[in-house]
Chains A and B, each alone.
Chain A
Amino acid sequence: MKDKEATLILPDGRRLDGRRPGEIRDIKIKVGILENADGSAYVEQGNTKIYAAVYGPREVHPRHLALPNKAIIRCRYHMAPFSVEERKSPAPSRREIELSKVIREALTPAIFVEQFPFTTIDVFVEVINADGSTRCASIIAASLALASAGIPMRDLVAACSVGKINGVLVLDVTDVEDKYGEVDMPFAMMPGKGEITLFQLDGVLTLEEAEEAIKMASKACMEIYEKEKSALKAKYIEARKAVEEVV
């Protein structure tokens, strides 16, 4: 399909946006920004910008979907029409439906669903601007929104993608690297537990490369995990500081 390989790694070993292969983009996280939702989060990873809102546990409608032994989790991943270069139809595409499922399954192992039988936990993920690794950023945002809603969880979920471009394994792929690179491997885990909750691979990796890629992704997830934790605590620590200053 591709007649000529695109240059994605510059001669000095840096990528097009100046990062080294093992570097992730800067992450900005805000928690609890949407007033109407029970829990919410905003994640900005380079130019990828995502909002997540969580409602619940609440009554299930339609009622026949409710389960007698646990809460159901419903997830909607949606890209805003203006989130990509060419207008995207707002109707859910095949890809969005698949990502909704994948994100839901990446989050489910972290939630104590059996504590809320007959209820639903609804997760809404809205991509405002897309620049690669949106499903990983979505998982980060959704996991923080769940935690900020006070839903009991085993651990936070962190996610990061690994790509292979010009034969080099790189972390946190951008849109261009995804389109013109050889491999995109989204990866999510509960870092505190060491359990992998999402593992996909688009492209071909050798066994050695795959092992190396998992190692890189786990390390990046640890780094993101720490940022998630401090973002969750930020609001309360600020309030504490404000009071201490008065005293």
Chain B
Amino acid sequence: MPIYVKDWDIVVPGDLLAEGDYTAGPYVYKEDNKLYSTTIGIVEQRKGTIRVVPLQGPYIPKVGDIVIGVVVDISPTAYVVDINSSYKAILQASEVVPPKRNVLAEDLTKYLDVGDVIVCKVMRFDKYSDVLLTCKGKDLGKIEGGRLVKITPAKIPRLIGRKGSMVNLIKKETGCKMVIGQNGYIWIKGKDKKLEALAEKAIRKVEREAHMSGLTQRVQNMLQSERGS
């Protein structure tokens, strides 16, 4: 069972990773007992499973994901939300209209208007119908102020870090409030513009160096030296 790559190696589509009894993890496919990468990413192997962590790629919704979206259209009973995905997202108006009111009789722009940014959760998604969102819950709903940063959705897991280590570090060092959407949008709100800019800088650094180990340490060093100066 030869394996041709090691952890942290950068691979591209079609790269031969291993031969034999390995399990193909995400972004890996098996053909004739050989494992190949399907995307540009980093190799990771655990207990006989080889996976590729992508460095680039579209956002594919998953039920339960927190996403940040922009309202792009309003229909009589629902909002259409752009969540930076290949699939359209719908937020039912009943989610934001107070209960016992007739949705059809309401002016929906009172609650959300085109261009508003909202934090939502993916309630239903099956690739064959539109994404259904909900914004009932803690920390969900319309957001105002602060700044919105967009990065490659593929790098969101890296920004969150192991058990949230990376995002907690940035929050702690800058004192900013951060909401991370799995679809690649990050909303930052801090005490002042300077701290927000610093948090954004840290996010950009994570995006740029996502394929290298020891990143948390480097981000910490950067944040501390920038804050000190």
Stretch from A11-19, A76-84, A144-152 at the B interface:
A144-152
Kindly list chain A residues whose C-beta atoms are within 8 Å of the C-beta of B165. Answer: none
Chain A residues touching B, range? 35 or more
Residues of B close to A233: CB separation below 8 A:
10, 12, 40
- Asked if B174 CB lies within 8 Å of chain A CBs, one says no
Q: Mark B42-79, 1 if CB is under 8 A from A, else 0.
A: 00000000000011111000000000000000000000
**Contacting residue for A240 out of B54, B87, B88, B212, CB 8 A:** B212
| Interface mask (B1-34 → A, CB under 8 Å = 1, otherwise 0) | 0000000001011111000000000010100000
Distance in angstroms from B190 CB to nearest chain A CB is 27
Say yes or no for A176: interface residue by CB 8 A criterion. Answer: no
Whether the Cβ atoms of B211 and A153 lie closer than 8 Å is: no
Q: 8 Å CB contacts to B: which residues of A148-181?
A: 148-156
Q: A59 contacts which chain B residues (CB < 8 A)?
A: 86-88
Query: Is B57's CB under 8 angstroms from A232's CB?
Result: no
In the bound complex, what is the Cα–Cα distance between A106 and B109 (angstroms)? 48
In this complex, how many residues of chain B approach chain A with their Cβ under 8 Å: the count is 29
Contact among B38, B56, B154 with A148 in the assembled complex (CB-CB below 8 Å) = B56
With beta carbons under 8 angstroms apart, the residue of B12, B14, B152, B218 that contacts A243 is B218
B218 to chain A, nearest CB (A): 7
Name which residue of chain B comes closest to A234, CB basis.
Answer: B10
A246 to B208, CA, bound (A): 15
Flag the segment in A2-10, A91-99, A112-120, A200-208 that touches B: A112-120
If A153-B13, A155-B14 are given as contacts, then 15 extra A-B residue pairs at C-beta distance below 8 Å, sorted by A number, are: A38-B58, A56-B86, A57-B58, A68-B128, A112-B29, A147-B12, A147-B13, A149-B56, A149-B57, A152-B13, A152-B39, A229-B15, A239-B211, A239-B212, A240-B211
A sample of 19 cross-chain residue pairs with beta-carbon separation below 8 angstroms, ordered by A number, consists of A39-B56, A117-B128, A118-B87, A118-B128, A148-B40, A149-B57, A149-B58, A152-B13, A155-B14, A155-B36, A156-B12, A156-B14, A192-B15, A229-B12, A232-B12, A233-B12, A233-B40, A240-B211, A240-B212
